[in-house]
Amino acid sequence: MQVQAKVASQRQLAEDTFCLRVTAPEVARIIQPGQFLMIRPEGGFDPILGRPFALYDVIPGETPEQDAFEFVYHVVGKMTHLMSEWTGGEEVEVWGPLGNGFPTPSGKHLLCVGGGIGYTPFPAVIRAALGLKPFGESPWKTTTERVTFCYAAQTASKLADLEGVESLENVSVQLATDDGSRGHHGLVTDLLAKALEQSGDDRPDEVFCCGPERMMQAVARLCEQHQVNCWLSLETPMACGFGACFSCVTKVKTCDGWDYRRTCVEGPIFSAAELELSEV
């Protein structure tokens, strides 16, 4: 759906990383973890296209009309620079919810891998998987008992505040930075490889991942080697966001070779086993 909405508030979570809250009850009521929204300033033609952002959280208002959703973004270009100056009351156009969202987690131990701004969907995924917060009209009914969250950034100042996720019971957060300023000095896939080598309850049953392409390729290969189901949230550039322009296609395997799928409607979440890995 397309709705006119208002920015409610904004807060900073890390260097050049902001969380924007938008009052839009129609969207907040139905959106699920892993789905996304397109957003642009109301009126005018610059930018003419909306920008896609993954759901971060849903915030119930004092009345149902004040229900809001939140998304997190890095300041990287003209639109996000403009957004970083919003303080509340700005009018925006929102399309959403868009995309398929993550599947209901299976198994007892879910492992999430987030790289850079790709960490965004996981606070909601974790709360939904553990039954701590319902999202949408059909909240997940899961058997998940514990979640490991491997989260990496270039440096400590770019690791976002996880806003309480790290202190949740049955959640283990493992950090990595490229420069070693916090957590493991190295790649997030080092943490994943160690987890996949565990046995019993310590071995994850399933992996959800979002982040840079090369990181997702490495995560998918590790999961394949260890025969663990892996779901990737692709961050393919998008123009329309609702299936009309085919600017967001990715290659998937089919019984007679391969075919294209639109990331905005058939994704952004794909089983890693379904994707042509070189195209991830």
Q: Which residue has the tokens 């892996």?
A: 230
Q: Which is nearer to ligand FES, 21 or 261 (CB)?
A: 261
Q: Which of 154, 155, 181, 247 binds ligand FES (CB under 6 A)?
A: 247
Instruction: Compute CA 31 distance to the chain's CA centroid, rounded to the nearest angstrom.
Output: 13
> Considering the rule CB under 6 A, would residue 82 count as an interface residue with ligand FES?
no
Give the max Cα distance, the chain. 57
> Considering the rule CB under 6 A, would residue 244 count as an interface residue with ligand FES?
yes
H/E run at residue 229 = strand 229-233
Identify which range of 88-96, 98-106, 190-198, 243-251 contacts ligand FES by CB under 6 A: 243-251
Residue type, position 115, single letter? G
- What stretches of 24-126 adopt beta strand conformation (E)? 36-41, 51-59, 68-74, 91-98, 109-115
> Considering the rule CB under 6 A, would residue 49 count as an interface residue with ligand FES?
no
> Considering the rule CB under 6 A, would residue 246 count as an interface residue with ligand FES?
yes
Q: Which DSSP symbol is given to 34?
A: T
Task: Compute the Cα dihedral for 20, 25, 26, 29 and give only its sign.
Answer: positive
Identify which range of 118-126, 144-152, 156-164, 236-244 contacts ligand FES by CB under 6 A: 236-244
Q: Which of 126, 241, 261, 266 binds ligand FES (CB under 6 A)?
A: 241
> Considering the rule CB under 6 A, would residue 238 count as an interface residue with ligand FES?
yes
* List of residues contacting ligand FES (CB under 6 A): 238-241, 243-248, 262, 264
